[in-house]
Amino acid sequence: MITILAIESSCDDTSAAVIQDGYLLSNVTANQKVHKKYGGVVPELASRAHQANIIPVVDAALKDAGIIVSEVDAIAFTRGPGLLGSLLVGVSFAKGFALANNIPMIEVNHLHGHIAALFLKEKGIAHYDPQFPFITLLVSGGHTQIIKVSGFFEKEIIGETIDDAAGEAFDKTAKILGLPYPGGPLIDKYAKLGNPNCFSFSRPKVGNTDFSFSGLKTAILYFIRDEHKKNSDFVKENLYDICASVQFTIIDILVEKLKNAVKQTGIKEIALAGGVSANSGLRDRLRAEAAANHWSLHIPDFKFTTDNAAMIAITAYHKYLKKKFVGQNVTAEARLKDI
Ligand code: KG4
Ligand code: ZN
């Protein structure tokens, strides 16, 4: 039996998970509420909260899994990309844990983790892995990419954002509207109550499979500023319609580029990954597109969409099988590439 403890601490969620022979046994996450009032993650506060959370979170993950420390065969951690101070907490914990228990360490790229979440299995729950090669739309707070995945360790980026990520487009819109961070889930909630065709925003003109969201952010900022001049209650009176219209625009941009990637590659095995894959509008739209275009669609279980250690654990399990270990000289990498 192979038992792995995994840690995720790249941004503002402290998470630990235990996986055994590829089946998830536990996944515990402490969300940091401290950033809410600042309209974004404050790196210094995030690292401090990780330090306070990591031991209780690991403890809870081991207990939930019914595993004791001496049964753990390897410890995995997110090496990057992410906030350096946040990553350092996870990396340092993993080093100490590996040294104290004389077990190997496995580094995981956070983005690889988001894609690997599609392979997470739990005992007694039916699951269908995506078949290689597949196309992933990876949409998170820091990244927006279209990736061709030909094997567990074979990936090729075929499109990405030239500026903001899709999650940032949600979060920055929320900030403009005076909503707390992270704005994505709130916009999702309000969008359900509004008319997506009420307001229209122009689409970016970038390459076939590339994205750009900074123009949209500016368009929303100016639109709200101009309307506010005419009616200081504009946002309050139109909040649901604004959220529905912005969300519709972001989804439409994502889907158009994904369709271009399908055309370009001829691959109809499609997957969605990353925090923005929690968006109900995006999930519904992709289901409709899959039915209309005969795609085989894979969407992660809702609880594995935003940052979690389960996705780090499943990546680490595949790395363990290939004996891809790292030594004590490993460092956290805020801009880690090579997904
Ligand atoms: O993957 P993730 O948890 O962290 C990063 O790796 O960045 O993604 C976080 C992003 C945030 O921008 C958040 O607003 C967005 O995912 N998000 C959503 C939803 N839930 C989370 N965006 C739209 N709708 C949601 N329901
Ligand atoms: Zn993430």
- The per-residue DSSP string of 210-258 comes to -B--HHHHHHHHHHHHHHHHH-TTHHHHHHHHHHHHHHHHHHHHHHHHH
* Phi then psi dihedrals of residue 161, to 5 deg: -75, 145
| Token pair of 249 as six digits | 């625009």
CA–CA separation, 8 vs 81, rounded Å? 11
Q: How far apart are CA 261 and CA 135, in angstroms?
A: 8
CA distance to 98, 254, 315, per residue, from 104 (Å): 6, 39, 15
Q: Which of 264, 265, 270 is nearest to 283 (CA)?
A: 270
pLDDT score for 38: 85
Closest ligand 1 atom, residue 82 Cα? 6
| Whether 63 contacts 47, CB under 8 Å | no
- Alpha-helical (H) ranges within the chain are 43-65, 84-101, 110-116, 166-176, 183-191, 214-230, 234-265, 280-293, 310-321
| Spacing, Cα 66 to ligand 1 middle (Å) | 30
Q: Answer yes or no: is pLDDT of 328 > 70.
A: yes
Which 3 state secondary structure label does DSSP give 271? strand
Residue type, 239: L
DSSP string, 111-140: HHHHHHGGG-B-TTS---PPPSSEEEEEE-
Q: Whose CA is nearest to atom 1 of ligand 1?
A: 275
Segment among 30-34, 80-84, 126-130, 182-186 with least mean pLDDT: 30-34
For the CA of 182, the nearest atom of ligand 1? 14
Share above pLDDT 70 across residues of the chain, in percent, rounded to a whole number:
100
CA dihedral 243, 245, 247, 249 (to 10 degrees): -150
Ligand 2 centroid – CA 9 distance (Å) = 10
Phi, psi of 198 (to 5 degrees): -70, -45
Ligand nearest to the CA of 143: 1
Q: Is the pLDDT of residue 137 over 80?
A: yes
pLDDT at residue 37 is higher than 90 = no
Q: Whose CA is nearest to atom 13 of ligand 1?
A: 184
Q: Output the CA 236–ligand 2 centroid distance in Å.
A: 31
Pocket test for ligand 1, best of 14, 32, 139, 140 (most atoms within 8 A of CB): 140
Quote the tokens at residue 14: 């402290």
Residue 109 pLDDT class (50, 70, 90 cuts): very high
What is the 306 CA–ligand 2 centroid distance (Å)?
6
Q: Is 38 helix (H, G, I), strand (E, B) or coil?
A: helix
Cβ atoms of residues 61 and 17 within 8 Å: yes
What's the CA-to-centroid distance between 3 and ligand 1, angstroms? 29
Cis (ω within 30 of 0) for the bond into 133?
yes
How big is the chain, counted in residues?
A: 339
Q: How far is the CA of 327 from the centre of ligand 2 (A)?
A: 25
Q: Which residue has the tokens 């490993």?
A: 330
Position 36 scores a pLDDT of 82
CA distance 28 to 303: 11
Q: What is the mean pLDDT of residues 38-48?
A: 92
Of 13-17, 31-35, 264-268, the one with minimum mean pLDDT is 31-35
Rounded Cα distance between 49 and 201, Å, is 38
Query: How far, in Å, from the CA of 96 to the mean position of ligand 2?
Result: 24
Q: What is the per-residue pLDDT for 59?
A: 98
pLDDT in tens, 142-201: 999 999 999 999 999 999 999 999 999 999 999 999 999 899 999 999 999 999 999 999
Nearest protein Cα to ligand 1, atom 8: 275
Dig out the tokens for 184 from the structure. 């994505």
Residue nearest to ligand 1 atom 3, measured at CA? 306
**Mean pLDDT, range 36-63, rounded to an integer:** 94
Confidence of residue 231 (pLDDT cuts 50, 70, 90): very high
298, β-bridge pairs = 271
Q: Supply the pLDDT for residue 54.
A: 98
Ligand 1 lining (C-beta closer than 6 Å): 11, 140-142, 167, 170-171, 182-185, 188, 274-276, 278-279, 306-307
Please tell me the number of the ligand nearest to residue 170's CA: 1
Atom of ligand 1 nearest to the CA of 165: 12
In the predicted structure, residue 22 carries a pLDDT above the cut 80? yes
pLDDT for position 339: 62
Whether residue 182 is preceded by a cis peptide bond, meaning omega within 30 degrees of 0, is yes
Distance 151 CA to ligand 1 centre (A): 26
Q: Which residue is closest in CA terms to ligand 1's atom 10?
A: 141
180, 37 Cβ separation under 8 angstroms? yes
Which residues, 6+ apart, have CB-to-CB distance to 66 below 8 Å? 25
